[in-house]
């Protein structure tokens, strides 16, 4: 194994996601003048309204190319605060930050590598997964600008795994074709996982000998230089990534959350990861690491819902009862929907589906679950825009979030035509029930008061034979 060596000449390679940063950017920013300038910019607003004035003032003291690189870096650090608690000390490229896992999702993925001692981090990018794979066990600082409850949950989730400093018995070798990416990954590892043992290799991962590694993680690029690849395409291709398991049984692939599950072979596990209600990524686990065919995980708490058994992509979905909406409507997490686990969730919650082609579930009792947002139903009827507008005004609803599922229509125009008036707020769901356009007026389960008492919904009919 070659650690820290350049295995390719210093030219741009196909599949690099970092061509937007010139090779000199890393040297400029890591120079003494670069570090000084970044320290000077720390905390400053360099948004579009300020960047020209700041640039003019700095060019009196620093070369123009360094000022340009530092201002770009400061803007990226600001954006990266949503992903990294130490973003203000890290280095980024624009496309590298876009594809990088957050420290929360990276920590979740790294937990499955607990028994591995030598890991290859292929297509490492700017090192979003590197610190977690290296065994960092320090509790991160709160994410700057995050909701206090979310920040606390992030710290609590990290604290559950805290066991002291970095795992010094583990080695990670980070591999990428782009020299700027590797320099930034090296820097970011020193910031996020100080003391960890990491090597850095510039190479095309398809030509890298993998002897000596006992686990591999790959995050294939979704860009080819400046060009974004079409949906579902990767560099290296997904089929090549899947074949890694034939060389190293402990293999994991990070993919875009829009991944077609049919592309995943039998025996592999497909996990869709959401942070709160936002779907972030898909993780493919090789047969040696799989424990289910499909899994939905919701962070920061780490709640997980898995299909039973390890089956192929065409495994039958459990039958779910179909009935009109009841007293409560459940909107499953996008991780549950993408994992094809809506039926499993319905069975777990003793809920039913309101239409066979729509992911909404319903229940006669209030249900609190991390895998769905539950709303109390105030009104449920076939959709008629004018009638619903009158009913919304009767309920005093002046603000509404309209969710359209399974029906065409311009949400903004519908909102305008409803002519809402009042001091209350609600969610308006426009969907299908038994293949008919249907509307529901809902409020969150946690809302302390409602504009009026909901009428008693009809009891769901018994399923037909």
Query: Residue 270 maps to which CATH number?
Result: 3.40.50.150
- For residues 179 and 253, state if they share a domain: yes
In-domain check, residue 465? no
Inter-CA distances, 354 with 289, 321, 443, 461, Å: 36, 9, 18, 12
Residue of 447 and 306 predicted with greater confidence: 306
Instruction: Return d(Cα 390, Cα 457) in angstroms, integer.
Output: 19
Calculate mean pLDDT across residues 159-174.
58
- For residues 270 and 385, state if they share a domain: no
The 3-state DSSP class for residue 294 equals strand
Residue 367: Cβ within 10 Å count: 18
- For residues 353 and 285, state if they share a domain: no
- For residues 148 and 248, state if they share a domain: yes
User: pLDDT tens digits, residue range 187-211?
Assistant: 999 999 998 899 999 999 999 999 9
In-domain check, residue 23? no
In-domain check, residue 13? no
- For residues 282 and 348, state if they share a domain: no
- For residues 103 and 239, state if they share a domain: yes
Residue 217: closest CA among 136, 86, 120, 102: 120
pLDDT at 431 over 90: yes
User: What's the confidence (pLDDT) of residue 165?
Assistant: 43
Residue 74: closest CA among 95, 57, 94, 49: 94
CB 209 within 8 A of CB 7: no
- For residues 153 and 255, state if they share a domain: yes
Number of domains in the chain: 2
In-domain check, residue 110? yes
- For residues 101 and 233, state if they share a domain: yes
Q: Domain containing 301: what range?
A: 93-306
Q: Mean pLDDT of all residues in the chain?
A: 84
Calculate mean pLDDT across residues 283-290.
98
What is the Cα gyration radius of the chain?
Answer: 25
User: pLDDT tens digits, residue range 97-145?
Assistant: 999 999 999 999 999 999 899 999 999 999 999 999 997 543 333 333 3
| Range with lowest mean pLDDT among 52-61, 218-227, 272-281 | 218-227
In-domain check, residue 162? yes
Going by the DSSP 8-state scheme, the letter that residue 37 receives in this structure is H
β-partners of residue 99 are: none
CB 255 within 8 A of CB 221: no
Whole-model pTM: value is 0.82
Instruction: Return d(Cα 269, Cα 278) in angstroms, integer.
Output: 21
Sign of the alpha-carbon torsion through 258, 322, 435, 386: negative
Q: Classify burial at 412, counting beta carbons within 10 Å of its beta carbon; exposed 0-12, middle 13-18, buried 19 or more.
A: exposed
- For residues 148 and 230, state if they share a domain: yes
Q: What's CA 230's distance to the chain center, in Å?
A: 19
Q: 123: which residues sit within 8 A by CB, 6+ positions away?
A: 15, 17, 175, 176, 205, 218, 219, 220, 221, 236
Residue 19: closest CA among 90, 120, 125: 125
DSSP track, 184-245: HHHHHHHHHSTT-EEEEEES-GGG---TT-SEEEE--BSEETTEEPPTT--BS-HHHHHGGG
Q: 191: which residues sit within 8 A by CB, 6+ positions away?
A: 86, 89, 90
- For residues 364 and 296, state if they share a domain: no
Tell me the residue length of the chain. 465
Residue 443: closest CA among 400, 382, 388, 386: 400
In-domain check, residue 15? no
Q: What element of type H or E holds 271?
A: strand 269-275
Calculate mean pLDDT across residues 347-372.
96
- For residues 277 and 392, state if they share a domain: no
* Domain endpoint, select from 306, 336, 359: 306
- For residues 297 and 410, state if they share a domain: no
Main-chain phi, psi angles of 30, to 5 degrees:
-95, 0
The CA-based diameter of the chain, rounded to the nearest angstrom, is 81
Calculate mean pLDDT across residues 298-314.
79
């Amino acid at each position: 194994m070659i650690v820290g060596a350049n295995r390719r000449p210093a030219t741009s390679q196909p599949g690099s996601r970092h061509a937007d940063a010139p090779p000199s950017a890393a040297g400029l920013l890591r120079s003494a003048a670069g570090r000084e300038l970044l320290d000077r910019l720390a905390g400053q607003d360099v948004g579009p309204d300020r960047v020209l004035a700041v640039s003019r003032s700095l060019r009196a003291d620093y070369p123009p190319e360094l000022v340009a690189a530092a201002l770009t870096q400061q803007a990226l650090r600001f954006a990266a605060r949503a992903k990294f608690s130490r973003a203000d000390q890290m280095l980024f490229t624009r496309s590298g930050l876009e594809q990088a896992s957050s420290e929360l999702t990276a920590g979740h993925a790294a937990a499955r590598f607990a028994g591995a001692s030598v890991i290859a981090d292929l297509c490492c990018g700017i090192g979003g997964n590197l610190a977690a794979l290296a065994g960092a066990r320090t509790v991160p600082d709160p994410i700057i600008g995050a909701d206090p409850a979310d920040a606390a949950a992030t710290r609590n989730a990290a604290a559950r795994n805290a066991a002291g400093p970095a795992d010094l018995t583990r080695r990670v070798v980070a591999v990428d074709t782009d020299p700027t990416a590797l320099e930034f990954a090296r820097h970011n590892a020193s910031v996020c996982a100080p003391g960890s043992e990491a090597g850095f290799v510039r190479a095309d991962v398809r030509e890298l000998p993998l002897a000596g590694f006992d686990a591999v993680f790959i995050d294939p690029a979704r860009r080819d230089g400046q060009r974004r690849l079409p949906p579902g395409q990767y560099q290296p291709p997904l089929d090549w990534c899947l074949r890694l398991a034939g060389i190293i049984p402990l293999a994991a692939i990070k993919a875009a959350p829009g991944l077609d599950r049919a592309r995943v072979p039998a025996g592999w596990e497909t996990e869709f990861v959401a942070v709160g209600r936002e779907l972030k990524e898909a993780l493919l686990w090789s047969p040696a690491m799989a424990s289910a065919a499909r899994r939905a995980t919701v962070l920061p708490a780490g709640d997980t819902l898995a299909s039973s058994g390890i089956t192929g992509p065409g495994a039958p979905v459990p039958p779910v009862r179909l009935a009109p909406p009841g007293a409560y409507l459940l909107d499953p997490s996008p991780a549950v929907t993408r994992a094809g686990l809506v039926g499993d969730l319905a069975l777990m919650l003793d809920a039913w589906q309101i239409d066979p082609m729509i992911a909404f579930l319903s229940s006669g009792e209030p249900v609190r679950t991390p895998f769905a947002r539950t709303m109390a139903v105030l009104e449920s009827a076939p959709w008629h825009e004018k009638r619903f507008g009158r009913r919304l005004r009767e309920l005093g609803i002046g603000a509404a979030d309209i969710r359209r599922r399974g029906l065409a229509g311009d949400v903004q125009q519908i909102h305008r035509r409803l002519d809402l008036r009042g001091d209350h707020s609600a969610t308006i769901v426009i969907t299908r029930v038994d293949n008919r356009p249907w509307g529901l007026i809902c409020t969150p389960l946690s809302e302390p008061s409602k504009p009026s008492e909901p009428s008693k919904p009809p009891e769901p009919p018994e399923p037909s034979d």
